[in-house]
Chains A and B, each alone.
Chain A
Amino acid sequence: MTKQILRRLATAIPTLIGVVIVTFLLTRVLPGDTASYFAGPAATPQAIDEVRKKLGLDRSLPAQFVSYVQGLATGDLGSSLSTGQPVVKDIETRLPASAELTLAGLILALAIAIPLGILAAVRQGSWIDHLCRVIATAGVSLPVFFSGLLLVYVFYYHLGWAPAPLGRLDAFSSAPDTVTGFYLIDSLIARDFDTFRAAAAQLVLPATTLALFALASIARMTRASMLAALASEFVRTAKASGLSPRTVIVTYAFRNALLPVVTTLGMVFSFLLGANVLVEKVFAWPGIGSYAVEALIKSDFAPVQGFVLAMAILYVMLNLLIDMLYGVIDPRVRLEA
Chain B
Amino acid sequence: MSALETGTVTKTTPGFLRGASATLRHARYTFAENPVSGFAFGLFVLLILCAIVGPSLVPHNPLVSDTAAALNAPSLRHLFGTDQLGRDIFSRVVVAARLDMAIAFFSVALVFAMGGVAGIAAGFFGGWIDQVVGRVADTIMAFPLFVLAMGIVAALGNTVTNIVIATAIINFPLYARIARAEANIRRDAGFVQAARLTGNSEIRILLTQILPNIMPIMMVQMSLTMGYAILNAAGLSFIGLGVRPPTPEWGIMVAEGAAFIVSGDWWIAFFPGLALMLAVFCFNLLGDGLRDIVDPQRRT
Contact = CB atoms under 8 A, between A and B. Distances in A.
Interface in A117-156: 137-138, 140-146, 149-150, 152-153, 156
Contacts of B238: 143, 145, 278, 281
A274 B138 contact: no
A293 to B, nearest CB: 5
A19 interface: yes
Interface in A263-296: 269-275, 277-278, 281-282, 292-293, 296
A19 B148 CA distance: 10
Contacts of B300: 224
B147 A15 contact: no
Interface stretch (B184-192, B195-203, B259-267): B259-267
A27 B155 contact: yes
Interface stretch (B51-59, B120-128, B276-284): B276-284
B159 to A, nearest CB: 9
Contact of B144 (A21, A145, A312): A312
A23 interface: yes
A50 B285 CA distance: 57
Interface stretch (A191-199, A237-245, A297-305): A297-305
Interface stretch (B21-29, B105-113, B204-212, B227-235): B227-235
Interface string A7-31: 0000000011011011100110111
A307 interface: yes
Interface string A28-71: 01110000000000000000000000000000000000000000
Contact of B143 (A164, A277, A308): A308
A330 B133 CA distance: 31
B280 A141 contact: yes
B261 A140 contact: no
A278 B142 contact: no
B147 A274 contact: yes
Contact of A274 (B145, B154, B257): B145
Interface in B137-175: 138-139, 142-152, 154-158
Contacts of A301: 154-155
A142 to B, nearest CB: 6
A29 B154 CA distance: 10
A15 B137 CA distance: 11
A156 B262 contact: yes
B254 A312 contact: no
A134 B138 CA distance: 32
A15 B142 contact: yes
Nearest to B266: A153
A142 B145 CA distance: 17
B276 A274 contact: no
Nearest to A144: B235
A161 interface: no
B150 A29 contact: no
Given A23-B151, A269-B144, A305-B151, A149 B258 contact: yes
B19 interface: no
A99 to B, nearest CB: 14
Interface string A298-337: 0101001101100110011000000000000000000000
Contacts of A315: 142-144
A158 to B, nearest CB: 8
A325 B49 CA distance: 49
Nearest to A29: B155
B35 interface: no
A165 interface: yes
Contacts of B154: 26, 296, 301, 304-305
Contacts of A142: 277, 280
B77 interface: no
Nearest to B231: A143
B116 interface: no
Nearest to B144: A273
Nearest to B162: A31
Nearest to A273: B144
A143 B139 contact: no
Contact of A19 (B142, B146, B234, B240): B142
B261 A157 contact: yes
Contacts of B285: 137
Listed residue (A21, A23, A146, A293) with the most chain B CB atoms within 10 angstroms of its CB: A146
Nearest to B279: A141
B241 A296 contact: yes
A305 B263 CA distance: 35
Interface in B219-244: 227, 231, 234-235, 238-241
B292 to A, nearest CB: 15
A312 B147 contact: yes
B239 A296 contact: yes
Given A15-B138, A143-B280, A153-B266, A26 B273 contact: no
Contacts of B145: 270-271, 274
A30 B155 contact: yes
Given A141-B227, A141-B280, A156-B262, A18 B254 contact: no
Contacts of B251: 143, 145
B138 A18 contact: yes
A145 B235 contact: yes
B239 A146 contact: no
A301 B152 CA distance: 11
Interface of B: 135, 138-139, 142-152, 154-158, 227, 231, 234-235, 238-241, 251, 254-255, 257-258, 261-264, 266, 269-270, 273, 276-277, 280-281, 284-285, 300
**What 7 A-B pairs are tightest by C-beta distance, nearest first?**
A274-B146, A18-B139, A146-B273, A273-B144, A308-B151, A31-B157, A141-B281
20 contacts: A21-B139, A26-B152, A27-B155, A137-B284, A138-B281, A140-B227, A141-B277, A143-B251, A145-B235, A152-B261, A152-B262, A157-B263, A270-B144, A282-B258, A293-B239, A297-B240, A301-B155, A305-B151, A312-B147, A316-B142
